[in-house]
Structure 1
Amino acid sequence: MNAAIRRFFARRGVLEVETPVLSGGAPLDPGVESWCASAPGGASGYLQTSPEYPMKRLLADGSGDIYQIARVFRGEERGRRHNPEFTLLEWYRQGYDDGRLMDEVLDLVQAVAAEDRAWARPVGTATRVAYAELFRGELGLDPLTCSAVQCARAAHEAGLELTGNLDRDGWLDALMALVLAPRFPRDRLTFIVDYPESQAILARSNPRAVGYASRFELYWGDLELANGFHELTDPAVFLKRREADRARRERQEQPIPEADEYFAQAMQSGLPDCSGVALGIDRLLMRLLDVDDITGVIDFPWGRA
């Protein structure tokens, strides 16, 4: 599978790169927890949750189109579909918007699936559904105006009972993963597009839909495979969002890692117009082999590593 991926990008002239696994700073995204690493001499850093920040530093320095097959680490992620250490394919295309990048993501998944006749292939063409359209049509919720209480009520009506104090975006994430995604056809690909701007992370605002961002996710059945953006290039907006993430972490009593100031400097120097996407290699292999547990595609899962 890795060889097929490398051939795919070689044919398209995209450069393979390697960036550090260990960095001095980390993203403040409340949805992802970084692993800390300490050296015997007292130095410390963070294991990457994604190679996004250093890859964007390369883009800002003029690298052109790049990709990477990277080992990444995320805390508090262990289960049937999660392993704390996993493999992520990430790539960036200059001059692409999110729509054009979705076309390439689809090309890659189909090309890789065709490498082995024993592998499963997605059926038919991929469906593209707007995030707001999905929530309104399936749950009667407007993602921009609904309250956490309304989300909790919709979850209860769908048979989902959760404990904990979730804010609106927390509820929306839970409803997507546990109520809506399980309704997607198992053998088909589904793109969810135009996420709320409160969940934009590092995607730019969507010029076609006020209050939404140029972000997409790809599902194969109910399994999320990829998360992509038409990348944010405005450093002032980045700093504003970073502070909002820090405040949300404080409210939720989450650890607050050191911010990656080298990345902030790269944003200030100028990130080219581009789109990028991260695709879970282990999850793609799960679908190709029709396996429902990630330990079926990782030789040494956490606990036996």
Structure 2
Amino acid sequence: MSDVLPWRPDATLANLRLRAELLARTRQFFAGRDVLEVETPLMCHATGTDPHLEALTLELAPGQWRYLQTSPEFAMKRLLAAGSGSIYQLGKAFRRDETGQRHNPEFTMLEWYRPGFDDHQLMTEIADLLAVCLPATDADIPRIRYRTLFQDMLALDPFTASDDELFACARQHTDLGDMALDRDDCLHLLMSCVIEPQLRQAVFVVDFPASQAALAQVTCDADGNAVARRFELFVSGMELANGYLELTDSVEQARRFASDNRQRQAAGLSARGVDARLLAALQHGLPECAGVALGFDRLVMLAAGAAHIGEVISFTADNA
């Protein structure tokens, strides 16, 4: 049977050695900065409410369901509230319906949190890590406003354009078919299909619309627009990291969970139970901090010059 069934790994041994080297460099980087490595459960009682993420579930026993984590964020914030100090985690995360050139349902995420840092200090640290793992990357990574990208590449102001103007722009640049899109759907589509592929050099995108804050704090920019204290890092046209000046307000967090669930139901998705343990941790007191999630498999792809995620992981979901 072994002669006819595919059994070989997807990645080459050379890429697996490179992966191991990058894992070692990453751990050495954080050890040198006194950031504690932690592990949190992969199986969780609750999961995120984000309408754009679907969790995988498993049944431990009849009627006892758990979610496989889409990110270790909630558990790590509970550690922060308990006084852990700066922490990082290198581990598996799982997301349903994510398979493709840069996606695998099971993937490796590097996530870390820095009490006392703001989002700009964290961007500087990310650039330092990239200099260690991707030495060819310029250590002085520029930071470009979300609004500026839309104005320069699409001649469109994402804050002042009408819903009809956004939809017309999305229809002009992408194949919408019969999709019904709201304002943020149009922005997400234009960002991912038109703008991101043009971001060939490493760049941090900052000042996202407040409606896309997720778990980030919200402030006003110099023009008076409500913006999220959130950033995304793009390298070679690929999103590599997503970071926040973290939301610490339990009441606002509960409100956002409820808003997400309304969006889920409007899209025909089931509502998710909120993570009461996270809300309790926030109520106890989450320190002011910045945090980021970085796709480690994508980091290896960049280091290896790989075009497909399957080139840098031992076995893809189809070959597991």
TM-score by length of 1: 0.93
Q: CA deviation at 1:42?
A: 2.8
Which digits, 9 at most, give the CA deviation of each residue in 1:153-211, with x for residues without a partner? 213333x21232221111111111110011122xx211100111100001001254531
Query: Contact 1:144–1:211 at 8 Å: present in 2 too?
Result: no
CA distance in 1, matches of 2:124, 2:139: 14
Query: Contact 1:190–1:221 at 8 Å: present in 2 too?
Result: no
Aligned length: 296
Q: CA deviation at 1:75?
A: 1.0
Would you say 1:103 and 2:124 are equivalent positions?
Answer: yes
Letter in 1 for 2:190: L
Letter in 2 for 1:28: T
Question: After TM superposition, which residue ranges in structure 1, 4 or more long, deviate above 3 angstroms?
Answer: 207-210
Letter in 1 for 2:279: A
Question: Which of 175, 178, 182 is residue 161 of structure 1 equivalent to?
Answer: 175
Query: Contact 1:228–1:277 at 8 Å: present in 2 too?
Result: yes
- Per the alignment, do residues 94 and 258 of structure 1 end up closer, same or farther by CA in structure 2, a change over 3 Å counting? same
Alignment of 1:34-53 (within 5 A): 34-53=55-74
- RMSD after superposition: 1.4
The corresponding residue for 1:184 is 199
- Per the alignment, do residues 198 and 125 of structure 1 end up closer, same or farther by CA in structure 2, a change over 3 Å counting? same
CA distance in 2, matches of 1:166, 1:78: 23
Would you say 1:235 and 2:250 are equivalent positions?
Answer: yes
Alignment of 1:69-80 (within 5 A): 69-80=90-101
CA distance in 1, matches of 2:315, 2:270: 28
- Per the alignment, do residues 30 and 147 of structure 1 end up closer, same or farther by CA in structure 2, a change over 3 Å counting? farther
Secondary structure of the structure 2 residue equivalent to 1:246: helix
Secondary structure of the structure 2 residue equivalent to 1:278: strand
Letter in 1 for 2:134: A
CA distance in 1, matches of 2:145, 2:69: 30
Secondary structure of the structure 2 residue equivalent to 1:213: strand
Letter in 2 for 1:97: D
Which digits, 9 at most, give the CA deviation of each residue in 1:94-134, with x for residues without a partner? 111100100000100111124xxxxxx22573221101111
Would you say 1:2 and 2:17 are equivalent positions?
Answer: no
Secondary structure of the structure 1 residue equivalent to 2:205: strand
Letter in 1 for 2:103: H
**Which sits farther off after the overlay, 288-297 or 142-151?**
142-151
**Which sits farther off after the overlay, 210-219 or 163-172?**
163-172
Question: Which of 16, 31, 34 is residue 37 of structure 2 equivalent to?
Answer: 16
CA distance in 1, matches of 2:249, 2:220: 15
Letter in 1 for 2:303: L
- Per the alignment, do residues 288 and 37 of structure 1 end up closer, same or farther by CA in structure 2, a change over 3 Å counting? same
The corresponding residue for 1:118 is none
Question: Which of 277, 293, 308 is residue 262 of structure 1 equivalent to?
Answer: 277
**Please, which runs of 5 or more residues in structure 1 have no aligned partner?**
115-120
Secondary structure of the structure 1 residue equivalent to 2:78: helix
Would you say 1:245 and 2:266 are equivalent positions?
Answer: no
Query: Contact 1:195–1:214 at 8 Å: present in 2 too?
Result: yes
The corresponding residue for 1:211 is 226
**Please, which runs of 5 or more residues in structure 2 have no aligned partner?**
1-21
CA distance in 2, matches of 1:262, 1:155: 39
Alignment of 1:78-97 (within 5 A): 78-97=99-118
Identity %: 44
TM-score by length of 2: 0.89
Secondary structure of the structure 2 residue equivalent to 1:195: strand
The corresponding residue for 1:117 is none
CA distance in 2, matches of 1:242, 1:88: 23
